Amino acid sequence: MSERTAGRPGSDRINRVAVSGTSGALLHPMLSEFHIPTAFLIGGLSSALAGAILLGSTREGERSRLAVRLMAGAGLLFSLALFALAAAASSSAQWFQPMGAAAAVGALLLAGEGSRALIHRPPRLKRVLAVLLILAVLLWSLRGSARILSVAQLLVAVIAGEFAVTLWRGRRLLGRGVGILLPALLGGVAVAAGARAASLFSFPVPDDSALSFSLGSGGAIAAVLYVLTPLVLVFTTTLVLHRRSQAALEALANNDSLTGLANRRVLLERGSLLNQRRRDDPPRVAVLMIDIDHFKRVNDSFGHRAGDSILQQVAQTMTMSLRASALLARYGGEEFGALVPVADEDEARAVAERLRAAVARETYLAEGHPVSITVSVGMTVTDLSGERFDDLLRIADQRVYRAKSNGRNQVVDSESLPT
């Protein structure tokens, strides 16, 4: 394999990869005339457009906004790097090389910190500024030197490798597909840049030559990866944030915004599935209706903001008292509902009593003032009554009112009722 170069700027021959020999015959015909400056220019324009679009998007949540801004900045810096590399591949001007190298490294740094924000890790912006400052001084001091390419490629390899490892560790937060594609792409960039750096350290180009790439040293492969990387980063960032927006909308539809519990709709939907069960299907399910006692007094004494805080605190206490398989939902106002798998009515009664005692035992704060809170619980069990879920809710709700009329802070079930 051989590569022709010409000493004069703008010569088209130095920008194309000439492939010869057996290995060249095995390569795709298009790569035999791979025009690197054109690829860099197209990649730069695409990266700039993608970064601008991403910068113009708005996302909810401080961490998501920061991730968008960092990834958009990375896309714009990548475009600057690709434009500079395109110019360096066609010109012997010394300043294109340090500009392109610094922009590429800076873009990878920003993308890395943006990815940390995507996987819910705090970005290290001071580290980015420190590395960029050191990089600018180093590359400017090496301008015109054959070693500038080696140093730049080595930096790209190290940063891309660290970036790939970080994303691989957080791949579950990125989702299936994206969590594998991004680390693989950046790992490829790291390997290609590392191979290129090793090649340039062993066979440095002349100090006065333009930036040249060859398939033999992985240059064209590295060029393709450099063009693809910003586009894939911006695209996958948009995809991840879109998925999270969808998940947030689903959570908004399924969760109570104040307490974070499931809402009434989820409780009714889950309960409707009980209608499809046979009476002898294990396990049985306890249906609980829970109402906070004297909640109006809290609102009247401390205000509605304090009342909202009490609802949140009581919801947390009840959640901790129930097993993970239970569904606890806010039914409306100060009323809650729960579905709890149980073996029999005795276990259901024990579950309800444990929840009631947990709430009564806790001390709550209303505008900084300690208050005691109790709940009244009505309970029934699915396969003992043979009723549909709507009827089970009605029965449990009636037993809540029976608990309140009996003095509150108690559990009422079938055995509690007068015969």
CATH number of the domain encompassing residue 383: 3.30.70.270
Helix (H, G, I), strand (E, B) or coil at 18: coil
DSSP 264-289: HHHHHHHHHGGGGS-TTPSSEEEEEE
Establish whether 33 is a catalytic residue. no
CA 297 to each of CA 205, 292, 360: distance values in angstroms, whole numbers, following the listed order:
82, 11, 16
241 and 172 inside one domain: yes
174 belongs to a structural domain? yes
258 belongs to a structural domain? no
Residue 119: closest CA among 163, 184, 74, 160: 163
CA–CA separation, 95 vs 141, rounded Å? 11
314 and 187 inside one domain: no
* Residue range of the domain that includes 331: 264-416
Residue 149: closest CA among 100, 78, 112: 100
Write phi, then psi, for 342 (nearest 5 degrees).
Answer: -140, 165
412 and 274 inside one domain: yes
235 and 292 inside one domain: no
Write out the two tokens for 285: 């399910």
152, amino acid identity: A
Is residue 113 a contact partner of residue 70, using CB atoms and an 8 Å limit? yes
269 and 140 inside one domain: no
Last residue of a domain, one of 209, 230, 253: 253
244 and 355 inside one domain: no
Helix (H, G, I), strand (E, B) or coil at 62: helix
80 and 177 inside one domain: yes
Write out the two tokens for 271: 């309960």
Q: How many alpha carbons fall within 13 Å on the CB side of residue 78?
A: 35
pTM above 0.75, yes or no: no
Helix (H, G, I), strand (E, B) or coil at 195: helix
2 belongs to a structural domain? no
Q: Which of 113, 334, 335, 345 is catalytic?
A: 334
195 and 142 inside one domain: yes
* Domain total in the chain: 2
187 and 293 inside one domain: no
402 belongs to a structural domain? yes
Q: At what angle do helices 62-90 and 36-56 cross, to 10 degrees?
A: 160
3 belongs to a structural domain? no
Residue pLDDT tens, the chain, 419 long: 344 344 434 444 444 444 433 334 444 444 445 566 777 788 788 888 878 877 776 555 555 778 788 888 888 888 888 888 788 767 666 667 667 777 777 787 888 787 777 777 777 777 777 776 776 676 666 665 556 667 767 777 877 787 788 778 777 766 777 778 778 877 887 887 777 777 766 665 554 444 444 434 445 566 666 677 777 777 777 777 777 777 777 777 889 989 999 999 999 998 888 767 655 566 689 999 999 999 999 999 999 999 999 999 999 999 999 998 999 999 999 999 999 999 888 999 999 999 999 999 999 999 999 999 999 999 998 864 456 888 899 999 999 999 999 999 999 998 765 54
382 and 284 inside one domain: yes
283 and 197 inside one domain: no
Peptide bond into 29 cis (omega under 30): no
pLDDT in tens, 300-340: 999 999 999 999 999 999 999 999 899 999 999 999 999 99
344 belongs to a structural domain? yes
222 belongs to a structural domain? yes
Last residue of a domain, one of 188, 221, 253: 253
Last residue of a domain, one of 253, 277, 311: 253
235 and 304 inside one domain: no
CA–CA separation, 69 vs 416, rounded Å? 61
221 belongs to a structural domain? yes
231, amino acid identity: L
Q: What is the CATH number of the domain that holds 223?
A: 1.20.1070
